Amino acid sequence: MSRVELPESVHSDRHGLAAASRAAAMLSREIAYADPDPLTMAEFDDRLHRYATTLLTTPPTLLLRPVISDWRRAQAALGRRLSPATHRELTGIAGFLSFYLGVLAVESGDDPSARRFATLTDQFAAQLDDPLLTGTAATLDALVAFVTGRYDAAAGAARRAAAAGHPYLCGWAAAIEAAAAATLGDSDTALIALDRLATRPCVQGLRHPGWPAFDEVREACAVADVVARMGGDSAADLARIAVDLTSSGTIERGWALACLASALAPDDPPQASRLLGDIVAILDVHPSRMLSRRVNEIVSVAGPGLLPLIPYTGPAEASA
């Protein structure tokens, strides 16, 4: 007997069952096709790690457009009826993309946007209960607090980042807490944080989204910066080590030169002024609100004769 397709029931839909079943069919197809394909997820993963390696070395103007595009795609995907595993993975992706946008907002001088993305990153982290994203969100809170002059809050957020317990973040959390404590004049807390920085787990070979790896170059710059803020006798020597470890023309070299300028400013203002001029040349090629801010801090402490203050003109101000 040949197969015959039976007609649909012609019974009246007094209780709405047929309408509900049609809705069920639509939902079933929506669920079946909601998850992004494996290639899309793999591309998200690759870009997360690419952004991590370029976050602090590429001008924000070059990163903002692609990161925002990926962030919007992730948000749109989260609005669909995803499978639990894919929803969790996309939540993590959206969290790290929000983190990147928070850091870029800080570097662009747009503090209101930075706070919004920091809050959103915290919310995504709370949904996942993932130590890496939780700690990364706390470091962004610390960064936003630091650049807005709330150093107590910055130190507290850095401690929360360390408490998240992910070894990849130990260096970043300790460095931010040490810098905040040193700026507040709390040398004891700064030294304790530097000790944690020196004894952090070695995780440089691991591949994670979020911050770039906290390598020996970043450690040298962080230690020199903290000691310079405290006015330590070894500040100049530590800064020279940092300069030797960095590459010419890079943001890292700019930070190392800032440490050396800060250490030399009290006793050798002309040399410190020359170093600050070198930093300005770097900033002309690689704009950085945070490094510009540090230069202005050094000038404000050493005196206005050292170098004119640098107004930071980033994407946020340029578009106003």
**pLDDT tens-digit readout, 244-255:** 999 999 999 999
Listed by start position, the domains of the chain span 216-311
Q: Give pLDDT tens digits for 88-97.
A: 999 999 999 9
The Cα-based distances of 181 to 58, 130, 185, 191 in angstroms read 28, 27, 6, 9
Cβ atoms of 24 and 182 within 8 Å: the answer is no
Confidence tier at 149 by pLDDT (50, 70, 90): very high
Residue 23 has pLDDT above 60, yes or no: yes
Task: Give ∠ CA 192-151-242 in degrees, rounded to 5.
Answer: 55
Higher per-residue pLDDT: 14 or 130: 130
Distance of alpha carbon 167 from its chain centroid, rounded?
16
Mean pLDDT is highest, among 132-146, 206-220, 301-315, for 132-146
pLDDT band at 157 (very low <50, low <70, confident <90, very high): very high
pLDDT for 320 beyond 50: no
% of the chain exceeding 90 in pLDDT: 70
In the predicted model, what is the mean pLDDT of the chain? Answer: 88
- How far is C-alpha 307 from the chain's CA centre? 30
What pLDDT score does 118 carry? 98
Q: Which residues contact 57 (CB under 8 A, 6 or more apart)?
A: 250, 251, 252, 286
Give dist(CA 84, CA 35) in Å, integer.
10
Q: Does the pLDDT of residue 7 top 60, yes or no?
A: no
- At 316 the pLDDT is 46
Please indicate whether residue 124 or residue 232 has the higher confidence score (pLDDT). Answer: 124
Provide mean pLDDT across the span 146-159. 97
Asked whether residue 261 carries a pLDDT value surpassing 70, the answer given is yes
Calculate mean pLDDT across residues 115-140.
97
Question: Which carries the bigger pLDDT value, residue 80 or residue 212?
Answer: 212
Q: Are 284 and 277 in contact (CB under 8 A)?
A: no
pLDDT value for 33: 61
Q: How confident is the model at residue 15 (pLDDT cuts 50, 70, 90)?
A: confident
Burial (Cβ within 10 Å: 0-12, 13-18, ≥19) of residue 237: middle
Dist CA 292 CA 274 (whole Å): 15
pLDDT digits (tens, 9 = 90+) for 263-314: 999 888 889 999 999 999 999 999 899 999 999 999 887 766 665 455 555 5
Amino acid at 58: T
The yes-or-no verdict on residue 63 having pLDDT over 70 is: yes
